[in-house]
């Protein structure tokens, strides 16, 4: 049932929110970290049916929620560590999502041994917990959900606060901090794909629809009901095309679960015809656009009321 991911709440006849897309319901996870790194209790927020968890258990999407977040519990060499970069924030009579770019520290016996830049992200899909290492972070995420419609646009409310830094940094925790040229920007990415799986469990896709938007200005307040157009077919010759809107490859490659339950790379092999029907939608919001461990501390993106427009 592909409509399972859409809520029954209609803002208008032509607009539908994703399930839990009003961002008013959250699971609050209180995770106790290992004693060797302080043994404190940290709070992680997940988009799903309202609940409070007070146990260190791996998270899987609850209540039919299609949303994953960059808030994760990691277990490396027997040490339990968390990262929180997405926050439940009060907005009016409900809540919104606040995505922040920050430095996450891991302190062992009072000595800082690892510092990592972490951006806030929410996406349609799931995070695979517990995380067991920092290599190939995209392989720890499953991106996209079944979806066979052809919306005109993605709609949501948003607010932006940029760091003000002219350049970004790359901080992985295992090498020196380097400067990455260019101002950091939050972004929204929506990819409509036609996927298929071969006999060996490899996932292939053609790109049906594309939306990539980077927010390069602060907003003084909320922008409500914004609509961002989805472009169909091969967009490389269309007005406004940028290289970062192209087919996924290299470090940009996303992963998803195949029929065997394995998380495998999605091999985007070309552009679909403009009138093709998709099988999946990839939708994500990020406080920093540069990929894993790249960004500017303080970049913040608030998101609310996420849906599609037909």
At 1 the pLDDT is: 37
CATH of the domain at 7: 2.60.120
Statement: residue 89 has pLDDT above 90? yes
Query: Half-sphere exposure of residue 305, counting CA atoms within 13 Å on the CB side?
Result: 20
Q: What are the pLDDT digits (tens) for 147-164?
A: 999 999 999 999 999 999
At 20 the pLDDT is: 98
Task: Please tell me which residue, 55 or 5, carries the higher pLDDT value.
Answer: 55
Q: In the predicted model, what is the mean pLDDT of residues 169-186?
A: 93
Assigned token pair, 190: 């929506």
Q: In the predicted model, what is the mean pLDDT of residues 27-35?
A: 96
Cis, peptide link before residue 254, omega less than 30° from 0: no
Statement: residue 2 has pLDDT above 50? no
Closest to 57 (Cα-Cα) out of 78, 32, 79: 32
Q: What percent of the chain has pLDDT over 70?
A: 95
Q: Are 231 and 182 in contact (CB under 8 A)?
A: no
Q: Are 144 and 254 in contact (CB under 8 A)?
A: yes
Q: What percent of the chain has pLDDT over 90?
A: 83
Q: What are the pLDDT digits (tens) for 204-252?
A: 999 999 999 999 999 999 999 999 999 999 999 999 899 999 999 988 9
Statement: residue 7 has pLDDT above 70? no
Statement: residue 50 has pLDDT above 60? yes
- Domain span holding position 137: 2-309
Statement: residue 288 has pLDDT above 90? yes
Length of the chain in terms of residues written: 310
Assigned token pair, 136: 């190939």
Residue 112: band (very low, low, confident or very high) from pLDDT cuts 50, 70, 90: low
Closest to 305 (Cα-Cα) out of 162, 126, 154: 154
Q: In the predicted model, what is the mean pLDDT of residues 269-288?
A: 98
- How many structural domains are present in the chain? 1
One DSSP character per residue, 197-223 reads E-TTS-EEEEEEEEEEEE--S--SS-E
Statement: residue 170 has pLDDT above 70? yes
Closest to 306 (Cα-Cα) out of 161, 111, 100, 158: 158
Distance (Å, rounded) from C-alpha 66 to C-alpha 139?
18
Q: In the predicted model, what is the mean pLDDT of residues 79-90?
A: 95
Average pLDDT score, the chain: 93
Give Cα separations from 186 to 181, 213, 222 (angstroms): 16, 9, 15
Give Cα separations from 82 to 70, 71, 98 (angstroms): 10, 7, 17
| Full-model pTM | 0.92
């Amino acid at each position: 049932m592909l409509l399972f991911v859409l809520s029954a709440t209609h803002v208008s006849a032509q607009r539908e929110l994703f399930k839990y897309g009003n961002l008013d319901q959250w699971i609050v996870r209180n995770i106790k970290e290992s004693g060797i790194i302080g043994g404190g209790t940290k709070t992680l927020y997940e988009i799903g049916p309202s609940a409070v968890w007070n146990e260190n258990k791996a998270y899987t999407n609850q209540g039919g929620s299609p949303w994953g977040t960059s808030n994760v519990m990691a277990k490396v060499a027997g040490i339990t560590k968390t990262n929180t970069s997405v926050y439940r924030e009060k907005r009016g009579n409900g809540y919104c999502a606040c995505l922040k770019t920050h430095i996450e520290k891991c302190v062992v016996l009072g000595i800082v041994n690892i510092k990592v830049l972490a951006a806030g992200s929410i996406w349609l899909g799931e995070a695979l917990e517990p995380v067991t290492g920092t290599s190939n972070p995209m392989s720890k995420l499953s991106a996209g959900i079944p979806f066979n419609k052809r919306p005109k646009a993605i709609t949501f409310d948003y607010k932006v606060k940029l760091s003000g830094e002219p350049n970004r940094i790359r901080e992985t925790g295992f090498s020196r901090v380097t400067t990455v040229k260019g101002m950091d920007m939050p972004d929204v990415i929506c990819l409509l794909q036609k996927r298929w799986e071969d006999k060996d469990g490899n996932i292939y896709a053609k790109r049906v629809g594309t939306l990539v938007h980077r927010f390069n200005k602060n907003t003084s307040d909320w922008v409500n009901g914004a609509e961002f157009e989805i472009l169909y077919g091969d967009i490389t010759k269309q007005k406004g095309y940028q290289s970062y809107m192209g087919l996924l490859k290299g470090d940009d490659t996303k992963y998803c679960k195949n029929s065997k339950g394995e998380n495998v790379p999605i091999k985007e092999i070309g552009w679909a015809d403009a009138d093709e029907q998709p099988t999946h939608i990839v939708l994500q919001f990020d406080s920093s656009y540069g990929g894993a461990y790249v960004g500017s501390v303080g970049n913040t993106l608030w998101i609310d009321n996420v849906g599609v427009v037909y």
